[in-house]
Structure 1
């Protein structure tokens, strides 16, 4: 992919930006693969069965794959495996610059991680997060339900319809649309053709966030500045 497509997003003023975490701000793929590979072998789940759940909370994945009587122990196990492995986690291009640009503006992270896991991965990546952090264990329904983005907007004190969500996963983009947010997709973990959004870029390094005097936020292609 060589083209940055922002479309109408460049014409809009936003009150807040809500970032997904894994695949958007940080790359945790090696750790995720290691944890889920161990879990799958222990629970008799194939790689084919695991496919297609990217961006969803671990508990939701477990509930889809295993019978109810196995849920509690299986969820505890994947949570433990992921917490124990935060090696090889790195910040993705443009993430630090994006968060710094929005340091005085309304911004949030809405992730499918639990709060302990989110904190562990943020610390491992040495990332300075926004003050608002919404995790899967803080909402009734995780992505692809809209709950994480609705809660983030509520905590920021803004309408979801005035928010821009940055996501790498189809489940997160579906959740953002259901919440009424605008969507900017980054092509870091998912094929471009599988991402449905209002704009699409390779990663956050392709864009800049600019603050207006009234606190509004605009997004622009970095190459145009």
Structure 2
């Protein structure tokens, strides 16, 4: 799926499966504001909480952070608050341009959050809604388990080798690896200086462009 063409890296696939937060939308300020308020309300260490939430379902993080609390109730509260309040949620650089280059049947979103929250953030960021969205409520096991990405591939009628995943967190990249789907890690969230399971790391989605698109293949160029 990766080749060189006159020193430009070319990636080929049939379907692109995007993570949402940190890939298509920048929600970091919003997420950390709500989680920080939640942590302070329950007298938890804010720094510790914020280091354990990214790339995972809320329902999976809470039992580890506060095992005495009712996880489902607290997760619903946090997700509802973030759905109602989308302040500071904007599109990531290059996200709108890349999505506009893809046909609706060529891409989907696999996110750890609920669908209502995902759609609220996409609208806040003024990005198109996907034809297919796999949310944290659609799986029994969240990232780093591969269930979400395998469901995404199946929903798009694509084999694993026909897909490309774009992620920004270690749990997300580990989920891609477990699904045997090639992945690109993007942005500062993923520690690109450390050994990882991503096939490629790029600092920004703005470096990724569609250079050719047919019904059975998308060619993406990575700017150096």
Instruction: With the length of structure 2 as denominator, give the TM-score of the two structures.
Output: 0.89
What residue is the counterpart of 1:43 in the other structure?
42
User: Does 2:92 align with 1:92?
Assistant: yes
Q: Could you say which structure has the higher helix fraction?
A: 1
Tell me the distance in 1 between the aligned counterparts of 2:155 and 2:211: 22
Distance 1:92 1:11, change over 3 A: closer
CA-CA distance at 1:12 after TM superposition? 5.2
Cα 1:80–1:212 shift into 2, 3 Å: closer
Once the two structures are superposed, the pairs formed by residues 78-117 of structure 1 within 5 Å of their partners are 78-103=78-103, 105-117=105-117
**Which residue does 1:125 correspond to in 2?**
125
Query: Which stretches in structure 1 are left out of the alignment for 5+ residues?
Result: 1-5
| CA positional deviation for 1:68 | 5.8
Deviates more, 1:138-147 or 1:104-113: 104-113
RMSD: 2.1
Q: Does the CA-based 8 Å contact 1:39-1:77 persist in structure 2?
A: no
Question: In the alignment, does 2:198 pair up with 1:202?
Answer: no
Higher relative contact order (CA 8 A, sep 6+): 1
* Partner residue, 2:177: 177
Q: As a proportion of its length, which structure holds more strand?
A: 2
CA contact (8 A) 2:146 2:178 kept: yes
Q: Tell me what 2:71 maps to.
A: 71
**Per-residue deviation, residues 168-195 of structure 1 (Å, max 9, x unmatched):** 1111000011111101011243332255
More divergent stretch after superposition (104-113 vs 154-163) = 104-113
TM-score (norm 1): 0.88
Q: Give 1:3's aligned residue.
A: none
Structure 2 gap ranges (5+): none
The aligned residue for residue 62 of structure 2 is: 62
The alpha carbon displacement at 1:104 in A equals 5.1
Q: Helix, strand or coil: the match of 1:191?
A: coil
> What CA distance in whole angstroms lies between the structure 2 residues aligned with 1:47 and 1:175?
26
Distance 1:212 1:27 in 2: 27
> Residue 135 of structure 1 aligns with which residue?
135
1:140 Cα deviation after fit: 0.8
**1:126 positional shift:** 1.1
Verify the 8 A CA contact 2:21 2:27 in the aligned structure 1: yes
Following TM superposition, where does structure 1 have runs of at least 4 consecutive aligned residues deviating by more than 6 angstroms?
none
Q: CA offsets per residue over residues 133-191 of structure 1, 9 Å max, x none?
A: 11101111111111111111011000122210001111100001111110101124333
How many pairs are equivalent?
218
